[in-house]
Amino acid sequence: MKTLEVYNPYNRHLIEKVPVTDKESINKIIETAARHKIADIDIVERAEILAKIGETLHRHRYEFILLLVTEGGKPFVDAEHEVAAAVKRLFLARQELHYMRGHYIPGEQAPGSPFQFAFVTRKPLGTVLVITPFNYPLFIPIAKIVPALVAGNSIICKPSSETPLSTIRFVELANQLLDTPGALSVIVGGGSEVGDFLVSHPGIDGISFTGSTEIGKRIVKMAGIKKLQLELGGKSPALVLEDADLDLAARECVTGAMKGGGQRCDALSRCLVVESVLDKFTKKAIEEVKKWPFGDPFLRTTRIGPLINRKAIEHVHYLVTDAVARGAEVVLGGHRLDPFYEPTILTQVTKSMDIAWKEIFGPILVIIPVKDATEAIQLANQSEYGLDASVFTKDLERGIQIAHQLQCGSVTINRHPQHGFGIVPYGGDRQSGLGREGLGWSVTEMSKLRTVVVS
């Protein structure tokens, strides 16, 4: 039997060998998912089951905290926060019920209409494939599973090959309460061997994917006629204007760049700072980055853990060294210290450097000088991505005006981007994705309309 080896990114010790799901087993899982309908369970009961799963996850929280630290190198405090967020997301299932309500359309609204009335309801897609990245291996799957189950879908999870253990264990716990064979399954394997087979399978009715733009494009080409929700890559800018609160801006920009070791699609990947406040902002940012110690992820004092693997370290190091070779200045950090990359600040970054355009996925604060807000907006919109952005200004009216000019899914004023529980919708434009996620929004993406006309 072929296995997937899962390593601890901090010490590179082998944690576990997980059996890879073969194609015959995948076919059986998809057949079972289609045959047993969780939609037959009352929607209110489905939400209550999810809340009970949340209670179970809370009781097992320390087990999952250890899993997150061990398989992903996530700092202990961050792992605590992820588990707590996952529990809360399960409880929030109750709030999504009313988004499955339908509409009544009276015939008199259309003069001469041959029908008396019509009603529109929401129905499940069928079987939804959930493909998730390494960086939030518990919360992101749950943020997709909850609305998919509320909508009445069967779900097949395909976690990252780097961090599959948290998802596998969660599915085991959840199925103890779901008691509906095929309602929730997990499949393990590499993207090229397992992912491609799943994505193109005719038994899959919808796909919710979070990951790179490259893989997202591959899914679009292979999926065929399926409903797709894709949250892809980002190169989120922070626009620091001349009237910004620089203490706030420095703190939030550093948090946006360093949180999760920068291994987030919504990381603030470039700070576009107006030249008149550039020096002051840079000095304050240096002091803020010093508050982000890296090291052993099991220590509560650690705020930045290891990068997920050596390939990730090499990618970050290439971007930094390329920028320096083209004239950027390292004012803090800049060293590769396997399995870490030292928290780094780069200044004098220009459009000619790869780091100005490519996703970093490492603890790097990139500072790009701009003349004014107009240039900042132009530079922000030149990226192929369009996920998130932040604007720092004391003039809220001005901030809102700029927000409307930025070509991205979400703009946050005077704070770093946070998708959180999805109280507001999140997702990307352009090369950053299709569709939106969040409370109510995900249910819409994971269901379809049914119109019944009564004559």
Q: Which residue has the tokens 């894709």?
A: 230
What's the average model confidence in pLDDT over 87-109? Answer: 87
CB-CB contact of 133 with 164 (8 Å):
no
pLDDT at residue 176, as a whole number: 93
pTM of the shown model: 0.95
Token pair recorded at residue 251: 């703190």
Residue 114: is its pLDDT beyond 70? Answer: no
The rounded distance, in Å, linking the Cα atoms of 439 and 441 is: 5
Domain boundaries, the chain: 3-232+431-454, 236-422
**Tell me: the pLDDT tens digits for 329-374?**
999 999 999 999 999 999 999 999 999 999 999 999 999 999 999 9
Identify whether the C-beta of residue 414 lies closer than 8 Å to the C-beta of residue 392. Answer: yes
Class of the CATH-defined domain 3-232+431-454: alpha beta
Read off the tokens for 455: 């004559």
Count other Cβ atoms within 10 Å, centred on residue 84: 15
Query: Rounded to 5 degrees, what are φ and ψ at 344?
Result: -130, 145
Which CATH architecture best describes the domain 236-422?
3-Layer(aba) Sandwich (3.40)
Check: CB of residue 67 under 8 Å from CB of residue 162: no
On the CB side of 244, how many CA atoms lie within 13 Å of its CA?
33
How does pLDDT run across 427-444, given as a tens digit for each residue?
Answer: 999 999 999 999 888 999
* 3 state SS for 111-167: CCCCCCEEEEEEEECCEEEEECCCCCCCHHHHHHHHHHHHCCCEEEEECCCCCCHHH
The Cα–Cα gap between 400 and 415 comes to: 13
Three-state DSSP at 281 gives helix
Instruction: Answer for the pair 71, 156: CB distance below 8 angstroms, yes or no.
Output: no
Active site residues: 231, 265
SS3 370: strand
- Alpha carbons 75 and 303: distance in angstroms, whole number: 6
pLDDT (tens digit, 9 = 90+) per residue, 207-244?
A: 999 999 999 999 999 999 999 999 999 999 999 999 99
Q: How far apart are the C-alpha atoms of 439 and 256, rounded to whole Å? A: 23
Residue 68 tokens read as 């997150």
